[in-house]
Amino acid sequence: MATTFRSVLDNAFTTTAEALDDSELGIDVTDGSVFPLTVDCPCILTIEPNTANMEKVLITANAANVLTVDASGRGYEGSVAKAHASGVKIELLYVATNITELQTAVNALENGAVYKTLFDAQSILAATTDDTPAALTVAEQTLVGRITAGNIAALTPAQVMAMLSGQAAADFAMNTHKITGVVDPTADQEAATKKYVDDTVQGSYLAVATIENPAADDAFFMFFTFDAISVSEISATRVGGTSVTFGINHSTTSATAIAGTGNEVFTGAAGEEVLTSDETWNEDPDNEFDDYTIPADSYVALVITAVSGTVTQFHVTVKYTKD
């Protein structure tokens, strides 16, 4: 609510239309229209200004050339109530009260004390359309903070996140800053961290072997690894024939791996898998693998131990990650 100051007008004066005693509260004037109307009162008028008979009066209403003096009586702002003759000057001047009110308002702004009495320990004021201060509710105080024991207290991170959750209405730019402390995604449409991508996508490698007209006791070197790796999946496909019996071996010496006497990836005494009725087969380490961790500086080989029927092609893919 803005401060309402007493009206001040330039060259606003007239004359009294009757003689006044020192207590009369209704002053008849020649032309009351030169003064503020009732809606703009109260105002301070000076009778017989700059004379020994000067008197100030507080006017609360102005209608039909009759000025109504405040009920507190005559002799306002330290002046003395006096009798006045008809036809003397009565004028609206800038007086001490006007200056004091202006100084008080300015000092309040400088000291941050405007509307201080309207605050309580948990309130924030906001101006309405008619400049009337209104206390915000706790919910409305969320983004601007809360007043606690006279101090502005920041919202907790949980409160901020609860307000922001689901509220995005457009793309959100981080202004070249990072989002940190994020957990790995567990559902579709969740953001992935760099480590998660490295581990699940960029950290995965494939080794592929294609054998034309495979035969029993064929052995093929597939790849050499400088790093320790873990086999995550092996897929095999045959073209033609009835079955292919094969195994994957690894060893730190190439001869041992090729001979099929190294460490066996598959389970079972022979460390082999038979690709029979299905033309495509794959398994993960939880079901079929015996030793799927391969140390650094190892050779990995494909060993075919038996072929049934006329198999024209045999394809094997080994998927692995670096440890």
Residues 109-131 have a mean pLDDT of: 54
Which tens digit of pLDDT belongs to each residue from 238-284?
Answer: 899 999 988 888 999 999 998 888 888 876 556 778 888 665 666 55
Residues 78-86 have a mean pLDDT of: 95
Which tens digit of pLDDT belongs to each residue from 4-56?
Answer: 666 677 788 999 999 999 999 999 999 998 988 766 667 889 999 999 999 99
CA 229 to chain CA centroid, Å, is 43
Q: What global pTM score does this model have?
A: 0.41
Is the confidence at residue 302, as pLDDT, over 70? yes
pLDDT > 70 in the chain, percent = 75
Rg (CA), the chain: 49
User: What's the whole-number average pLDDT of the chain?
Assistant: 81
* Angle in degrees, CA 195, 199, 201, rounded to 5: 110
Q: Which of 66-70, 82-86, 129-133, 299-303 has the lowest mean pLDDT?
A: 129-133
Task: Kindly indicate the confidence band of residue 295, based on its pLDDT and cuts at 50, 70 and 90.
Answer: very high
Assign residue 15 a region (left: φ > 0; alpha: ψ between -120 and 50; beta: otherwise).
beta
204-322 is a CATH 2.60.120 domain: yes
Give the C-alpha separation, 267 to 247, whole Å.
10
Q: Are 16 and 88 in contact (CB under 8 A)?
A: yes
| Per-residue pLDDT, 288 | 61
Give, in order, the Cα–Cα distances in Å from 283 to each of 168, 266, 300, 305, 314: 43, 10, 18, 19, 17
Q: Which of 65-69, 119-123, 189-193, 308-312 has the lowest mean pLDDT?
A: 119-123
Handedness of CA 104, 105, 111, 114 (dihedral sign): positive
Is the confidence at residue 101, as pLDDT, over 60? yes
Is the confidence at residue 1, as pLDDT, over 80? no
- Only one residue has tokens 């309207």, namely 118
| Per-residue pLDDT, 112 | 58
pLDDT > 90 in the chain, percent = 34
Q: Are 144 and 124 in contact (CB under 8 A)?
A: yes
| Per-residue pLDDT, 94 | 81
- The token pair at 247 is 């195994």
Give the C-alpha separation, 49 to 89, whole Å.
7
Higher pLDDT, 285 or 54: 54
| Per-residue pLDDT, 279 | 54
Proportion of the chain in helix, strand, coil states, percent, rounded to 5: 15, 35, 50
Give burial (CB, 10 Å; 0-12/13-18/19+) of 49: middle
Which tens digit of pLDDT belongs to each residue from 211-235?
Answer: 999 999 888 999 999 999 988 888 8
Which tens digit of pLDDT belongs to each residue from 161-173?
Answer: 887 888 888 888 8
Is the confidence at residue 82, as pLDDT, over 90? yes
| Per-residue pLDDT, 39 | 60
Among 86, 88, 40, 91, residue whose Cα is nearest residue 63: 40
Residue 264 CB neighbours (<10 A)? 20
Q: Which of 120-129, 178-187, 227-236, 271-280 has the lowest mean pLDDT?
A: 120-129
